[in-house]
Amino acid sequence: MWRKLVSVLIILPLAVVLVALAVANRAPVDLVLDPIGGRFIVSIPLFLLILAVFAIGLLIGGFAAWLGQGKWRKAARQRQREATDLRRQTDRLERELESIDQTPRQAQLPAD
């Protein structure tokens, strides 16, 4: 519940700001891709440039977070394997116990 509320409180104002930015900055700007020679120039609206930089930053940040959480994913996989092995061992031991309980026992007669 709190997570959704926080994300709405962050995403909604950010979306409003980005839409206002896009509406206010529709004029084309020259993007120079070759700063030394100046031969590669692209003319694009400023809001597209800003949104593209924002999207690239978002992707890089997501990738960095994914890399940072690698040790937790590895630990979770390890725990999952251990849990699976323990379940198999428990099932095997329960089957062995049931087979021992079901085998007829010889009546032990008291020795004279």
Q: Which residues pair with 45 in a beta bridge?
A: 28
Is residue 51 within 8 Å of 19, Cβ to Cβ? no
Residue-range domain boundaries for the chain: 22-98
Beta strands in 1-112 (DSSP E): 28-32, 41-45
> Phi and psi dihedrals of 48, rounded to 5?
-65, -40
Question: pTM value?
Answer: 0.58
pLDDT value of residue 88:
97
3 state SS of 46: helix
pLDDT value of residue 71:
95
| pLDDT tens by residue, the chain, 112 residues | 888 888 888 888 988 888 888 888 888 988 888 888 878 888 999 888 888 888 999 999 999 999 999 999 999 999 999 999 999 999 999 999 988 877 665 555 566 5
Is residue 48 within 8 Å of 18, Cβ to Cβ? no
pLDDT value of residue 2:
82
CA distance 84 to 81: 5
pLDDT value of residue 107:
53
pLDDT value of residue 112:
55
3 state SS of 40: coil
DSSP state of 107: P
Structure tokens at 72: 């937790």
